[in-house]
Amino acid sequence: MIRLNNIHKSYEMGSNSLHVLKGIDLNIEQGDFVSIMGSSGSGKSTLLNILGMLDNYDKGTYHLSGNLIANMSEKKAAKYRNDMVGFVFQSFNLISFKNAMENVALPLYYKGVPRKKRNQIAMEYLEKLGLKEWANHMPSEMSGGQKQRVAIARALISQPKIILADEPTGALDTATSYEVMEILKEINASGITVIIVTHEHDIAAMTRQIIRLKDGLIHEIIRNGELKQFQKNYMKELETA
């Protein structure tokens, strides 16, 4: 469902230009559970943002469900985002002056769903994520794990085809990180494509496909079968570290 062909992306900063993605070719199918790895600054977030239509690319083609994503009006992009993708961010990015339920319901507001209806749906999602009692709490009253679950509920409520998560566990402790990964696994099990960015091997190892970025290119793709090997190597890396 995602087809990237020779994607390039540079950031212009004054007179210099930083070439971050130097020709990415990538196919991701419906139902995949993918992690993007790579050292800091290798372009993981950049790639994810392009996938989520939050940022544009300079060269190449990006097809999403057969549609070419290029030079779209912001209105159209907004509609695609609302219909196709749900975002989960490292820093949660909840609206601080709205409670959990209102935050979750927000994407439906932009879709024009009446208030009662969308709040009811938001409650269902909060319940699924074990946050029913927290529906009327403000983000500032919740722990990191709870906030991330609210963010996931918000990403899910518009029933997207893809969940994009940029370091969803980056701000969480290990136990909470694993809880969040369990939730993402369940989401993936329901048929939704999940793509996460992470630099933690143990988190990546919970996905079914790992894409390693290096020098603006895909360095290697580790698929389901090879994951065991990856995990072994990873353990070794840990021991030697």
Partner 1 sequence: MFDLDLWNEIISALKKNRLRSFMTAFGVFWGIFMLIIMSGAGKALENGVLDGVKAFATNSAFFWTERTSIPYEGFQRGRRWNYENTDIQYILENVKEVEYLSPRLFGNQQAGNNTIRGERTGAFNVYGDYPDYFKIDRWTPVKGRLINEIDILQERKVCNIGERVVEVMFAKDEDPIGQYLKVSGVYFQVVGIIHAETEINIGGGKKEETIIIPFSTMQTTYNYGNVVHFFSVTSKPGTKVSDLEDKLKTILKNRHKVAPDDLQAIGSFNIEKEFLKFSALFLGIQVLTWIVGIGTLLAGVIGVSNIMLVIIKERTQEIGIQRAIGATPAVVIKHIVAESVFLTVMAGYIGLSLGVGVLELLNQILLNANSSGDGMFFRNPEVNLTMALSALGVLVVSGIIAGLIPAKRAVSIKPIDAIRDE
Which residues are at the interface with partner 1 (CB under 8 A)?
Answer: 49, 52, 54-56, 74-75, 78-79, 81-82, 86-87, 89, 93, 95-98, 106-107, 109-111, 115, 154-155, 158
Residue among 56 and 119 whose Cβ is closer to Mg ion? 56
Query: Candidates 18-26, 42-50, 77-85, 216-224 — which segment interacts with Mg ion by CB under 5 A?
Result: 42-50
Report if residue 45 touches Mg ion, rule: CB under 5 A.
yes
Least distance (Å) from partner 1 to the CB of residue 156? 11
**DSSP code string of 34-83:** EEEEESTTSSHHHHHHHHTTSS--SEEEEEETTEE-SS--HHHHHHHHHH
Could you count the other beta carbons within 10 Å of the beta carbon of residue 4? Answer: 23
Handedness of CA 87, 92, 96, 98 (dihedral sign): positive
Least distance (Å) from ligand ADP to the CB of residue 16? 10
C-alpha distance across the termini of the chain, in Å? 38
Residue 20 partner contact from partner 1, Mg ion, ligand ADP, none using kind-dependent CB cut-offs of 5 to 8 Å: ligand ADP
Residue among 33 and 87 whose Cβ is closer to partner 1? 87
Least distance (Å) from ligand ADP to the CB of residue 18? 5
Residue among 45 and 193 whose Cβ is closer to Mg ion? 45
Q: Closest Cα partner for 183 from 201, 173, 171, 169?
A: 169
Least distance (Å) from ligand ADP to the CB of residue 47? 7
Handedness of CA 187, 191, 197, 201 (dihedral sign): positive
Q: Closest Cα partner for 155 from 196, 116, 115, 117?
A: 196
Report if residue 49 touches Mg ion, rule: CB under 5 A.
no
- Helix (H) and strand (E) counts in the chain: 8, 10
Least distance (Å) from Mg ion to the CB of residue 44? 5
Residue 11 partner contact from ligand ADP, partner 1, Mg ion, none using kind-dependent CB cut-offs of 5 to 8 Å: ligand ADP
